[in-house]
Amino acid sequence: MIVFLLTVAASIAALAGGYTALRSRKWLNWALALTAGLVIGLVFFDLMPEIFDIAVRQNLDTAWPMVALVSGFLLFHVFEKFVPIHQASEEQYAAHRHPRLGTARAVALSGHSFMDGLSIGVAFQVSSAVGAAVALAVIGHRFADGFDTTTFMVFHHNKLVHIKRWLAVVVLMPIFGGLLSLVYDFPETVLALYLGFFAGFILYIAASNILPQAHSEEFSRKSILLTVFGTVFMFVVTRFV
């Protein structure tokens, strides 16, 4: 039940991001700055130690989870070169606006959203503490996913009815991912590999998407402090709570 509720929360966060994109960008940079810190802290203070703990228990060569991490990082990097995923890509496609580009991005983010929900469920299979930490980071960046889906489709002149339909898909996909995790229990070795892949996946998102957007306007001490605070907060949560 907790997995379902958290994936619903992630969906609501994406919906809020989409609504904000149709109304205003106010507070977006600060929210993204905090989210970037949460994601960085999640990867290095929660996922990585858990991966190494599983590797020790299962006598698994730690090189393989690291291969999975690098694969997640590079796969998303290669994928975004063929499909416009990030807001930072707008200038690149500015001279070639077309609704199909907006739809392509929505499809990519739908797959990403499914992985977010699946990752929450998989993390809870490891432990409640890991699940809670992953859910916190996922819910944080889901706002940006909803915002990105809407703004990119608006930018490429998609009709409002199509924007709303694809936003609904992006919003609902985490729930389906979470439900899948409830009907299949992954072996611990598979969990270690998946967590490695997910760590690389969201680390790339933080480095190439969330951080650049958070600091895209002008130099802001508050944004930097929020990123640092998010990282420290995850350290405290994972070590002492």
pLDDT tens-digit series, residues 186-202: 888 998 998 899 889 88
Q: 24-33, 105-114, 133-142, 156-165: which range is least confident on average? A: 24-33
104: exposed, middle or buried (Cβ count in 10 Å: 0-12, 13-18, 19+): middle
pLDDT above 70: residue 155: no
Which pTM was predicted? 0.72
Based on the structure, what is the number of domains in the chain? 1
DSSP reduced 3-state for 187: coil
What pLDDT is recorded for position 224?
A: 87
* Among 192, 202, 190, 168, CA closest to 76: 202
Whole domain around residue 27: which residue ranges? 2-240
What pLDDT is recorded for position 52?
A: 92
- Region 3-23 average pLDDT: 82
Residue 127 backbone dihedrals phi, psi, to 5 degrees: -170, 160
What pLDDT is recorded for position 98?
A: 59
What pLDDT is recorded for position 193?
A: 92
What pLDDT is recorded for position 94?
A: 44
Q: Which amino acid is at 117?
A: G
Tens-place pLDDT, residues 45-84: 888 998 999 999 899 999 999 999 999 899 888 876 765 5
